[in-house]
Structure 1
């Protein structure tokens, strides 16, 4: 049995239990699944749900904002308060950026950086009875993609495939290059092998993910395949029911990629394209490599080529120097464009970012007011987009969810709308659903019996 006071004593024949807590983006979700796979391959570990007791809790952190940092710290403190006998392992972007801060938290026994993740299983196996180990190598030294493919995930219907890591941009508000390093691509042969294996294992949807997807392949010696080439090859996989891209920068979306989505039913009609601001003055200070006009033209082009395409974006509210007029430019731009959802972020200073040194910081109440305004706009846009789909029959990737102790069917359309169907267990795969109502930011539907629409 585990010893008290934050130490775990593991007999040699004891199968150690591990639970995972993941914060942040889809990349982090993939990285967590990688750690789970590494532990399975190493042996001696069994995964349990996070709410159950575990010998070890692995917390995969996010550090995109100060609020994200605070959320991670709060979770670690809560784990230790509720399970003081369990060990806590911390990894992710916060661990890479500020391991010293995390080392001060109670219960933390091991901190593993992004470049050291490949050895996490051995380090967890060798955790000492007491004390703390910090394994955080300089991420700037990472030059190659660490290929740790996985073919099983906790989700039963969707599978993420990580194809690229790091970023070569220098956005003034961002610290991703400091937490994930320079852009590094995975060999296309490895990507395709994993995608084939996931489809063969029964996953209905494959989601391609990376820090900067548009940079895929640029760093690979002798490689002539770019992102669009890779997507085309994945779409050719037999029995793949749905393919989706995760977040992609405006400058990375080519006419060829839009045409590929428009002409292929398997390619989900969904782009998530970060805007950050629609004020050229603010974009310039952010060191973003596009203008508001370029973004607007791109969104309109997508809307014309792909009817009912789900288009989401990210916006930073209250970046240093952003005036009321600058914010109004952003608000008006989003209101006019066929954007279907918006993720507004209240700006927070990231230690080590260029913007940390900007003197014209925006008062907190102003930042919050702007964030609230965009959240209301987001709700209005989501509601309007949902209402347009009432009465239609849509393909939905079903998955089981739980509410009040009961299972119910829910899922996602290809254009990223949440659909709920009522009680039941999902059988997996994409099915036709007749939409009967729009309820805020989601739809309610009824499953269409096979052959009923013929």
Structure 2
């Protein structure tokens, strides 16, 4: 058996696809290995949301060649689709595969391991088309939770984003096939599935036509799945309807955890970003969630330093977030991407201002998370425990995404246990007490 190691950058969707591609290599003689295990093949699954993701790809290639100079190095993912020639020029890269071609890796890779074969193409990446195939993917044995891809591509041309260029237009699996994959995953003893996609709320488009909806998928999972817990990775605020929020509030499977991109709290900047909502809609969604799920965890994506974001408009964002009843922030400094509308928007925000704004929002996020965790003390939650341990403690996440630590007990690994939240640790996590070890 040959060894293959994956290094995955970026989103949960990439992790799901890396895991599925790794499994597809098994019939052609590969076993998955760690990066340091001297593998015969390195596969680097890239992201291109920020400039830092591009730089990380180049660094990982260098490290791979240090570990095994004779190994083949293949680059896949969004960066590989957007800038294939640039990646092909990186020393040590043997093959670059585009968005559709990455799933053909098992058929393509064997000649690249035979260093006697000459004149092999270094770049196999077709242009993004409307009718790209949909490839189902999910992760297994990578983490306690499984990431299940149910949708790919995006029809939202936001001014700062290259994802539609890298992944094509929105397309989905069918509800029937998703339910089949869920039962396949259940056979592996998985307790929680995270539904993921590029624009998951746009689920239901097949061959360019809408045939189903994300809400119908959620309802079908609630009724027919045997998995205990489901989490929605991220959903646009305009696609998270009041009807869906009310349904999720009474769900026995979907947990009270929402990650809802906002990107800016200034309506002027939202218009520059070509977002499909204004901050008032976002505020209404948060208020509705809080009214029906008071203990829900609500995470927010924010971009700072988008062209046109003046100091005054940034302060609108800061003040709005400060007053909004949310649980944490994911903060991204704007990174200029070629072939996006934002390139031509003025004025630009310099790096120092972006750094300062990012720092302010990271501090605010820490305060929000601390306040949310503090509000949960004394409550009881259901925690899915992970395998890793440190200093005699093990950790897991509750249904509403509270990270909880308890004394290590191997019987708790990959089980969901009732835990009372006792106090906050020095690192800001919740120290819990398992109330009764149950087999679940």
Q: TM-score, normalised by structure 1?
A: 0.91
Contact 2:256 2:399 in 1 (8 A): yes
| Residues 205 and 241, structure 1, Cα contact 8 Å, conserved in 2 | yes
Shift of 1:222: 7.9
SS of 2:394's partner is strand
- SS of 1:290 mapped into structure 2: coil
1:99 and 2:84 correspond: yes
Per-residue deviation, 1:305: 1.4
Task: Give the structure 1 partner of residue 18 of structure 2.
Answer: 32
2:151 to 158, 164, 170: 164
CA contact (8 A) 1:140 1:178 kept: no
Relative distance call for 1:429 and 1:232 in structure 2 (3 A) is: farther
Indicate if the aligned counterparts of 1:279 and 1:326 stay in contact, CA closer than 8 A: yes
Q: Secondary structure at the match of 1:126?
A: helix
Structure 2 SS opposite 1:274: strand
Aligned with 2:185 (options 198, 213, 223): 198
Residue of structure 2 aligned with 1:82, choices 67, 73, 76? 67
Tell me the matched-pair count: 432
Cα distance change of structure 1 residues 163 and 360 upon mapping to structure 2, 3 Å threshold: same
Aligned position for 2:176: 189
Tell me the secondary structure at the aligned position of residue 259 of structure 1.
Answer: helix
Alignment check: 8 A CA contact 2:95 2:123 kept: yes
1:57 corresponds to? 42
What is the CA–CA distance in structure 2 between the aligned matches of 1:105 and 1:142, rounded to whole Å? 30
> For the residues of structure 2 that align with 1:222 and 1:370, how far apart are their CA atoms?
41
Cross-structure match for 1:19: 5
- Structure 1 residue 292 displacement after superposition: 1.1
Match of 1:341 among 320, 328, 335: 328
Question: What is the CA–CA distance in structure 2 between the aligned matches of 1:363 and 1:375, rounded to whole Å?
Answer: 18
- What displacement does 1:100 show? 1.3
Alignment TM-score, normalising by the size of structure 2:
0.93
**1:348, distance to aligned residue in structure 2 (A):** 1.1
1:365 maps to 2:338: no
Matched with 2:57 is: 72
Note closer, same or farther for the CA distance 1:72–1:301 as it changes in structure 2 (3 Å cut).
same
C-alpha contact 2:150 2:203 (8 A) present in aligned 1:
yes
Is the 2:182–2:227 contact (alpha carbons within 8 Å) kept by the matching residues of 1? no
CA distance in 2, matches of 1:315, 1:191: 30
Shift of 1:303: 1.1
Within the alignment, does 1:175 sit opposite 2:162 as a pair? yes
Q: Distance in 2 between matches of 1:155 and 1:297?
A: 36
The equivalent residue for 2:134 is 145
The offset of 1:109, in angstroms, is 0.9
Q: 1:433 aligns with which of 419, 430, 436?
A: 419
SS in 1 for 2:246: helix
Partner of 1:423: 408
- Asked if the contact 1:241–1:429 (Cα under 8 Å) also holds between the matched residues in 2, the reply is no
1:264-312: CA deviation from partner (whole Å, max 9, x where unpaired): 1321101111000010110001000111111111111111111111100
Secondary structure class of the residue paired with 1:140: coil
Q: Distance in 2 between matches of 1:282 and 1:419?
A: 37
Distance 1:399 1:329, change over 3 A: same
Matched, 1:279 2:266: yes
Deviations 1:125-147 (A, max 9, x none): 22152666211111224444234
Q: 2:124 maps to which residue? A: 135
